[in-house]
Amino acid sequence: GIKERTLVAVKPDGVQRRLIGDVIKRLEQRGFRLVGLKMLQASDKLLAQHYVSLQKKPFYASLLYYMTSGPVVAMVWEGHNVVRSTRMLVGSTDPAEAALGTIRGDFSVHVSRNVVHASDSVEGAEREISLWFQRSELIDWEGCDHKNIYH
């Protein structure tokens, strides 16, 4: 439905490299709606929950170290098929495999510094959004362009 939501986060490398605006620009111009936004220093506890499925990976410790190395910008975006479309817009996990025109394909080189996070399923998005945001931090609003983006 058009109320589908996804979690996007500009990772510490993206923040340091001044790419927050580029990430927001691409999601906005696609027609998605920003319903939550904050900058934060993510805690180990939050990231351990966020990346629970990667606990056994050899890169897990360095991933958490990197993700806590500086501020991240967490966002919730809403729209029709926003989870799948945002994954397409972000590109493959390894920037070497990411198509040009995607965020990772245009702005990154190495898998361990791939600029942005995006939820990979609707269920995953719901889980991640509830980890990163309080309900009161999400704003339900309708854009004046709604009828031009949808039918």
Residues involved in catalysis: 117
Looking at beta carbons, which residue is closest to ligand DAT?
93
Q: Which residue ranges make up the site for ligand DAT (CB under 6 A)?
A: 54, 59, 63, 93, 111-112, 114, 117, 120
Q: Does the annotation place 32 within a ligand binding site?
A: no
Q: Does the annotation place 11 within a ligand binding site?
A: yes
Nearest to 77, CA basis, from 89, 67, 68, 66: 89
Contacts to Mg ion from residues 88-147, by CB under 5 A: 120
Q: Which partner from the list ligand DAT, Mg ion, none does 104 bind, CB cut-off 5 to 8 Å by kind?
A: none
Q: Does the annotation place 133 within a ligand binding site?
A: no
Task: Tell the smallest beta-carbon distance from residue 37 to ligand DAT (Å).
Answer: 20
Task: Tell the smallest beta-carbon distance from residue 49 to ligand DAT (Å).
Answer: 14
Q: Which partner from the list ligand DAT, Mg ion, none does 112 bind, CB cut-off 5 to 8 Å by kind?
A: ligand DAT
Residue ranges that bind Mg ion, judged by CB under 5 A: 120
